[in-house]
């Protein structure tokens, strides 16, 4: 996929703004809008978040010899391939994985090792920034859940995949990607970001957002999703707090 320089700068600016606002944890809507306006000033202008852009030529990552359509029904479940190609409109620009796109070679090698490897084994992926390392582990997990749910026809309950991140900022950077690729399943393949900011009861306006996201602690405990994203501290709390015991009980024997 090719992008013009102006589009690249805008993409970096939006991503950096989301990351900074997420790290700051600003809850006041007016202040959040003000900071967003400041951060998104044209790079290099007074008060802008980004400096003047500098471009450096580099080699691209080697692509595999098969596209996503060719992997559908072979390596990857067809429902997942379709979900990757058709995220919600708001996330389509950044996270759509078209059927005619060829994954990078290291991505395909990781997928084959994690999906086809018998017995299951760990994989270490060493590659540069922006080379799609997240997809190396995330897509095999989603593929396993897609198969377990019969292509999204059966709703899954109980944690099967646990994502641990050391920093909340790193966790929040994955939210859009998870939403983009699980939302097409219509709420049968769900996930939850569980950290100190997770509210006991999600406000009504948040409940209208992505169906695939479990937004409140009450729902997390009553009906745990198959994907739980958290940090080591919250995981420790969850293991010892009585109020979180239903999450453990309903996930017994399901974590892979």
CATH at 237? 3.40.50.300
Strand order in the sheet with 191-193: 161-164, 227-230, 191-193, 213-214
Q: Is the dihedral of CA 74, 142, 11, 207 positive or negative?
A: positive
Task: Report residue 31 as tokens.
Answer: 């202040």
**What integer pLDDT is reported at residue 207 of this predicted model?**
66
52: containing domain? 1-57
3-class DSSP assignment, residue 116: helix
Domain identity same for 33 and 106: no
Beta pairing class for 191-193 and 161-164: unpaired
pLDDT digits (tens, 9 = 90+) for 22-48: 888 888 888 888 888 888 888 888 778
Domain identity same for 14 and 84: no
In this model, does residue 173 exceed pLDDT 70? no
Residue 102 banded pLDDT, cuts 50, 70, 90: very high
Q: Report how many domains make up the chain.
A: 2
pLDDT digits (tens, 9 = 90+) for 211-237: 999 999 999 999 999 999 999 999 999
Domain identity same for 137 and 185: yes
Residue 7 falls inside a structural domain? yes
Domain identity same for 237 and 172: yes
Residue 94 falls inside a structural domain? yes
């Amino acid at each position: 996929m090719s992008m013009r320089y102006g589009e690249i700068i805008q993409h970096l600016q939006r991503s950096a703004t989301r990351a900074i606002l997420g790290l700051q944890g600003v809850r006041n809507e007016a202040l959040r809008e003000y900071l967003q306006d400041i951060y998104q000033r044209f790079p290099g202008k007074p008060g802008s978040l980004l400096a003047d852009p500098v471009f450096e030529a580099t080699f691209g990552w080697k692509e595999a010899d098969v596209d996503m359509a060719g992997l559908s029904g072979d390596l990857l479940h067809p429902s997942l391939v379709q979900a990757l190609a058709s995220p919600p409109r708001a996330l389509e620009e950044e996270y759509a994985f078209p059927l005619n796109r060829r994954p990078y070679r290291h991505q395909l090698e990781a997928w084959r090792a994690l999906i086809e490897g018998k017995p299951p084994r760990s994989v270490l992926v060493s590659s540069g920034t922006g080379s799609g390392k997240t997809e190396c582990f995330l897509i095999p997990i989603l593929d396993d859940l897609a198969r377990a749910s019969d292509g999204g026809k059966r709703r899954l309950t109980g944690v099967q995949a646990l994502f641990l991140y050391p920093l909340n900022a790193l966790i929040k950077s994955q939210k859009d990607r998870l939403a983009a690729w699980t939302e097409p399943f219509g709420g049968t393949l769900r996930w939850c970001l569980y950290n100190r900011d997770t509210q006991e009861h999600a406000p009504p306006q948040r409940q209208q957002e992505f169906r695939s996201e479990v937004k409140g602690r009450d729902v997390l405990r009553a009906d745990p999703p198959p994907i739980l994203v958290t940090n080591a501290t919250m995981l420790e709390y969850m293991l010892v707090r009585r109020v979180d015991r239903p999450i453990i009980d309903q996930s017994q024997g399901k974590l892979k």
